[in-house]
Chain A
Amino acid sequence: MASHHSQKRLISPLARARGLGSAKKGASHWWAERVSSVALVPLTLWFVWSVVHLTGADQAAVRGWLSRPAAAILMSLFIVSTFYHLALGLQVVIEDYVHREGVKVTALLLIKGLIILTAAAALFTVLRVALGS
């Protein structure tokens, strides 16, 4: 029995349960995924609306659009929210399907590293265009 086991270990069942689970901190991860998804609803609709208007636009037109404060601010928020939400989501996917600890940790590090690198590149582009080179 679990209770029998925990009593022998001189550790309360709550303390034993804390920190367990694949992510080690499931509740905060779950909340962060929800909060980022709520932010992404209006940001995504704005992004789709903007891209539709930019259909077939040349570089000067897109740079002109992105250099406007509203577009630069919303695009920055869209990029940060998207990559944050993506990192949280892909973490769960990997934790669900990869069960060997070494492979799992390696995959998580690689995916999160790639996401941070891509997010930094995207964000830098927006700032460079918006603030001028």
Chain B
Amino acid sequence: MPEAAPPPRSRPISPFLFPPTGTYRWQLTSALSILNRVTGVALGVGTLLLTWWLLALLGEPSDFAAVQDFLGSIIGRLLLLGWTWALFFHLLAGIRHLVWDTGHGFELKNVYRSGWTVVVLSVVLTVATWSAGYYFR
């Protein structure tokens, strides 16, 4: 018995998120999930900076000094600080995902425990890295 095809419906896109009406209550889990994606994209942009830094190795010494001067400026340092945190956050959140892939850590208590661990450790490692940077300078 042939059935009539259902009429096409437009796919709802996160109806409680956009526009932000206050209907959606943010949780640590969803916030860290989207942050993992945002930091991943940001780190992708950061690869352009890394490549610029590497390419400057092939130019004149003054070319490289110009890149280092930019990175050492206030704007450069703020960008690098952001990228350092993004790198550690994405690294730690990625390890959290790898643990989940083994089927462990899905209990609500453990999900929150690992989530807060990622948040705190990412900040601690960022501070430690920058302290070491200033120490070796």
For B87-114 the 0/1 string (1 means CB < 8 A from A) is: 1000100110110010000000000000
B57 touching A53, Cβ below 8 Å: no
Asked if A59 contacts B64 (CB within 8 A), the reply is: yes
**Across the interface, which residues of B come within 8 angstroms of A90, CB to CB?**
40-41, 44
Number of A-B contacts (CB under 8 A): 85
Nearest residue (CB) in B for A59 is: B64
- CB–CB A53/B136 < 8 A: yes
In the bound complex, what is the Cα–Cα distance between A83 and B91 (angstroms)?
15
CB contacts (< 8 Å) of A121 on chain B: these are 51, 54-55
B3, A4: Cβ atoms closer than 8 Å: yes
**Chain B residues near A23 (CB, 8 Å)?**
none
Given known pairs A4-B3, A66-B57, A125-B58, the reply for A56 and B68 (CB within 8 Å) is yes
Cβ contacts under 8 Å, A89 to chain B: 40-41, 44
Which residues between 78 and 96 of chain A lie within 8 Å of chain B, taking CB atoms?
Answer: 82-83, 86, 89-90, 93
Contacts of A63 in B (CB 8 A): 57
Contacts of B57 in A (CB 8 A): 59, 62-63, 66, 125, 129
- CB <8 Å contact, B87 and A56: no
Interface residue range, chain B:
35 or more
Please tell me if the beta carbons of A48 and B51 are within 8 angstroms of each other in the complex.
no
Q: Is B27 an interface residue (CB 8 A)?
A: no
Q: Is B133 an interface residue (CB 8 A)?
A: yes
**Contact B55 A125, beta carbon cutoff 8 Å:** yes
Q: Is the CB of B61 within 8 A of A1?
A: no
Contact mask A54-69 → B, CB, 8 Å, 1/0?
Answer: 0111111011001000
Question: Which A residues form the contact surface with B (CB < 8 A)?
Answer: 1, 4, 34, 37-38, 40-41, 44-45, 48, 52-53, 55-60, 62-63, 66, 82-83, 86, 89-90, 93, 99, 115, 118, 121-122, 125-126, 128-129, 133
Q: B residues near A, CB below 8 A? A: 3, 11, 37, 40-41, 43-44, 47-48, 50-51, 54-58, 61, 63-65, 68, 72, 84, 87, 91, 94-95, 97-98, 101, 129, 132-134, 136-137
Return 7 A-B CB contacts under 8 Å, by A number: A44-B87, A45-B91, A56-B137, A59-B64, A99-B11, A115-B44, A129-B58
